[in-house]
Amino acid sequence: MTEEETRRLLVDQLRRYYERGWISGTGGGICGPADGGALLVAPTGVHKELVGPDELFTIDPVTETILAAPARADLRPSECGPIFAHIARERGARSIAHTHALSAVLFGDLADGGDHVTVERLEMLKGIRGFANTERHDVPVIRNTPREIELVANVARALADPRFARAYAVVVEDHGVYVWGADVWEAKRHVETYHYLFEATVARHDRRRKG
């Protein structure tokens, strides 16, 4: 896939996530592979469903510096950038999405002060690389912070925890979720799968509580 094709696919995903209610206002973010090992990152403070292919920043995932900026001078790089870069370095991810989906927030509530929520007995677990529908998947849940950039330390601790070595998502309580994959297509599959797992797990919990 060329960089131009990646740019078009990333902004298409932003529109689709907006349509599904997973990003709204100016929240959320996405990144994907640029030429030379860099990352393409959506800007901050804008309506993500309106971002164009030529409005992505290019950052170095190692140094976290900006290598190229859009022509529009009013655009600013996403505060998700350092988190994206850390996940890319630690997990080899080449595409990462950040959503503010209600299902992710409600799923995080199920941790009830703990550091994970277990997903089990769902066919869609097979949508996460390496998982079978008979397995239990512990999804890490971290505390929120006043600013996105301050989340880096909490994300780092979750990624370093061997209990979560197979996870492709980190849920941020009262906030949303970061989901990644080896490329844009795997990240897309993981985003869609995790959001289904969140919805199903929350619905089951609510049904049991009412029963």
Q: Residue 156: its pLDDT value, please?
A: 98
Cβ atoms of 189 and 179 within 8 Å: the answer is no
Q: Would you say residue 210 has pLDDT above 90?
A: no
Q: Would you say residue 184 has pLDDT above 90?
A: yes
pLDDT tens for each residue of 86-115:
999 999 999 999 999 999 999 999 999 999
Q: Residue 111: its pLDDT value, please?
A: 97
- The sign of the CA dihedral 93, 94, 97, 103 is negative
- The sign of the CA dihedral 204, 114, 92, 48 is positive
Cβ atoms of 140 and 161 within 8 Å: the answer is yes
Catalytic residue of the set 3, 19, 123, 173: 123
| Alpha helix stretches (DSSP H) within the chain | 3-19, 81-91, 102-109, 152-160, 184-210
Enumerate the β-bridge partners of residue 77. 43
Q: Residue 165: its pLDDT value, please?
A: 98
> What's the mean per-residue pLDDT of the chain?
96
Q: Would you say residue 211 has pLDDT above 70?
A: no
Cβ atoms of 42 and 51 within 8 Å: the answer is yes
Q: Would you say residue 8 has pLDDT above 80?
A: yes
4 belongs to the catalytic site: no
Q: Residue 208: its pLDDT value, please?
A: 78
Q: Would you say residue 204 has pLDDT above 90?
A: yes
